[in-house]
A and B are shown apart, each in its own frame.
Chain A
């Protein structure tokens, strides 16, 4: 029992440890200005990412991401539910939505700068308008696929209106909605970073580009690490939420697969 646990721990830790060790060894004593020793990067890290910097750069970035993402989720789910519920509305909207979804989201940055300047509003709108498509289209698919027997059950037991939406339609579509939210999260991070690289005076993306432009290479590397860590942490948080909300779905899938 304990032996097995140790073995699993070994599997989890071994390769990352080896990779870090290889990076450490290979870069140690490196004189290439672009590939500073890992030791130097790690030494620089606490100097760069101070509490002050967290407050002035990391927190604003996260708030923009959160704002844009939440806006996209609200609009995407609401519109997606309407479009998914009516066959005709869906038929009318489909080609336009297909096109809008296919537009690579980063090109929205210059467009939205026209309207919203270079402030926080621009970044939140950029993030929201890039994230909304996967959420919207997945919600449409999910709402459309609600089981007909379930709909009839709800009807015959007088579950209508808001209760029907909340207990049946949105719950039934939640696996698809979450698939959309997951895609949207990685798009959101991309847009957060590049909107800050494009035009900003604070934020993680801005900071990292500043380091690169001023050739503060170890500092730039710490910025890359922070972005990587941020992506990882957000994905962990997302998975925790998903596991909680979609616990029933995993169980259901596991039982249908077994039979």
Chain B
């Protein structure tokens, strides 16, 4: 059953790659627009031998990881603080609802003016976009705290810090992990955007350079790398999240389906 599933998936992937090879060769699409799979693969091999590629990849990952880390810390701290301090949740609700949907790309011109093509430009966009994902999930998580558990802790004289540590945090953790997963994907999108549009060093800028110099196979190769990076991040984040969730459900005695 499971094996059949994997085989079908592999067949689908093979068909996709074969189509990518055949379509330009048969003239269904212009080779100048979509190079055959084999040409993209060649370009990918060439890139892998180039140190500039690896440093670009490193730059992208640095911007992504640093931005994500800052956003996660800030999101969790603000989320917990807002929920724990009385009335803060109500007072901040409207502001959060207003600021959250503001597209982070609106900040691109500001980032260019303030930081030019430095890493800080990337970080500004990445942090702004991913912060909201973490914050919102943290707020959901804290809302989900069982009032009985909270009151039990209170009745046993646990202080605020102890309640945060032993009641609030364990309940909110799976939500926070969901927030981290969403934020990780968004952070990559914004890191590449910043590089592509502003010209900060990284994969995005390499893609823009390949495009302006008409190096189409190289451009596709870099896009494949960006896709694989995204895939890796998605799969990794989902695995981590699933662990956190499994633990959560077993603790609460729910049946994991």
Interface residues of A (CB under 8 A from B): 8, 11-16, 19, 34, 88, 91-96, 98-107, 109-111, 113-115, 186-187, 189-190, 193-194, 197-198, 205, 208-209, 211-212, 217, 220, 223-224, 227-228, 230-232, 234-235
Contacts and interface: CB of A to CB of B under 8 A. Distances in A.
Contacts of B193: 104, 106, 190, 194
Nearest to B10: A95
Given A104-B193, A194-B196, A96 B90 contact: no
Nearest to A185: B101
Interface string B84-119: 000100111111001011111111111011100000
A234 B104 CA distance: 15
B9 A189 contact: no
Contact of A186 (B103, B216, B233): B103
Contacts of A92: 8-9, 11-12, 15
A240 B110 CA distance: 32
Nearest to A114: B33
Given A94-B9, A99-B228, 6 more contacts: A114-B211, A189-B105, A193-B103, A208-B109, A217-B113, A230-B103
A105 B185 CA distance: 11
B234 interface: yes
B65 interface: no
B170 interface: no
B21 to A, nearest CB: 15
A91 B196 CA distance: 34
A189 B105 CA distance: 9
A114 B33 CA distance: 6
11 contacts: A8-B90, A92-B15, A95-B12, A96-B13, A99-B228, A107-B192, A107-B207, A208-B106, A217-B113, A224-B109, A231-B106
Contacts, number: 160
Contacts of A19: 95
Contact of B234 (A102, A190, A208): A102
Contact of A110 (B15, B112, B219): B219
A231 B113 contact: no
Contact of B204 (A103, A107, A232, A235): A107
A69 to B, nearest CB: 14
Interface of B: 4-5, 8-13, 15-16, 32-33, 87, 90-95, 98, 100-110, 112-114, 188-189, 192-193, 196-197, 204, 207-208, 210-211, 216, 219-220, 222-223, 226-231, 233-234
Contacts of B234: 98, 101-102
Contacts of B197: 106, 194, 197-198
A106 B109 contact: no
Given A19-B95, A103-B223, A104-B226, A110 B8 contact: no
Which of B8, B32, B107 has the most A CB atoms < 10 Å from its CB? Answer: B8
A82 to B, nearest CB: 14
Contacts of B8: 88, 91-92
Contacts of A104: 188-189, 192-193, 226-227, 230
Contact of A15 (B91, B110, B227): B91
A241 B35 CA distance: 42
Which of B12, B104, B211 has the most A CB atoms < 10 Å from its CB? Answer: B12
Contacts of A224: 106-107, 109-110
A19 B108 CA distance: 22
A92 B13 CA distance: 8
Contacts of A96: 12-13, 16
A106 B227 contact: no
B33 A211 contact: no
Closest 10 CB pairs of A and B: A102-B230, A227-B106, A212-B109, A92-B12, A235-B101, A91-B8, A103-B227, A110-B211, A228-B102, A102-B231
Contact of A106 (B16, B192, B219): B192
